[in-house]
Amino acid sequence: MHLLRVGAAGAEKPAVRAGEDTYVDVSDLVTDFDEAFFGSGGLERLAGPVAGRLAAGDTRPLGGQRIGAPIARPHQILCIGLNYSDHAAETGQAAPSEPILFTKSPNTLIGPNDDVRIPRGSTRTDWEVELGIVIGRRTSYLEDVEQARAAIAGYVLVNDVSEREFQLERGGQWSKGKSAETFNPAGPWLVTPDEIPDVNDLDMWLDINGERRQTGNTKTMIFDPYVVVHYLSQFLVLEPGDLINTGTPPGVGLGLKPPSYLRPGDVMTLGIERLGTARQQVVGPR
């Protein structure tokens, strides 16, 4: 299934994608795609009713409706740094021997086509196309990667927007450069694992104003999604609906020569194979 949430910010309704521009409304079946939904076997319960509605042609046109993030605000957003060998090389840093973990404020989550706002005082706001993992059940101390695979509810396209000065020059705390408002566009939909033949071989890309900046593939990940989930479960409890951003391929603004960063009016267009595309316009500070 492809889960999405349709409607104005703060009033999104849960839905399942039916076709290129149609969806099945499931707001009478579930309250939201949130911790309670994932943690109570909501995906399994939804499959039968959705199949019935699709067979009956009970779909609606998406039209110009806003698409929100495909999950409600999660308990936590966890991020893995330097997780692509070619991205680590462009930053001049050694590939990590263990996953680098930092956190991102959950209130950074916005829809796939919402505006991204540059924070006050920023001159180095950057882009990062990433594969996001959504956790499907409360998880800790997983025994192996197979258990980790079973704990994943699905995957989502994300943009891990980053302010590099805040991240790298303001006390060495990455979370400060990652947690400004609007810094985590996600969607358009969450794709369940059965819809993805090989999550470790997905093409990904990002353009700025129509010019290709990032080109990559999840096969160059140092730690794949199953390893990441298993690893994190040894240190903290993962809750249903939690989001994990798994790192970015090369081509970020920080790695360009000379470096290049976002300005108001810029447009980011990005996508991952099988996970859809997104478009965000950059706006100035409040």
What CATH code is carried by the domain that includes residue 77? 3.90.850.10
Pairing of strands 276-283, 116-117: parallel
Residues 112-162 have pLDDT tens digits of 999 999 999 999 999 999 999 999 999 999 999 999 999 999 999 999 999
Range of the domain at 24: 2-67
In terms of domains, do 255 and 183 share one? yes
The verdict on pTM exceeding 0.85 is: yes
In terms of domains, do 92 and 142 share one? yes
In terms of domains, do 200 and 119 share one? yes
Residues 43-87 have pLDDT tens digits of 999 999 999 999 999 999 999 999 999 999 999 999 999 899 877
In terms of domains, do 244 and 121 share one? yes
User: Given 49, 67, 85, which residue is the final one in a domain?
Assistant: 67
- Mean pLDDT for the stretch of residues 184-213: 98
Number of domains in the chain: 2
Q: What tokens appear for 86 in the block?
A: 């070619």
In terms of domains, do 26 and 94 share one? no
What pLDDT was estimated at residue 89?
76
Nearest C-alpha neighbor of 195 from the set 112, 100, 273, 115? 273
- Mean pLDDT for the stretch of residues 11-17: 98
Residues 247-279 have pLDDT tens digits of 999 999 999 999 999 999 999 999 999 999 999
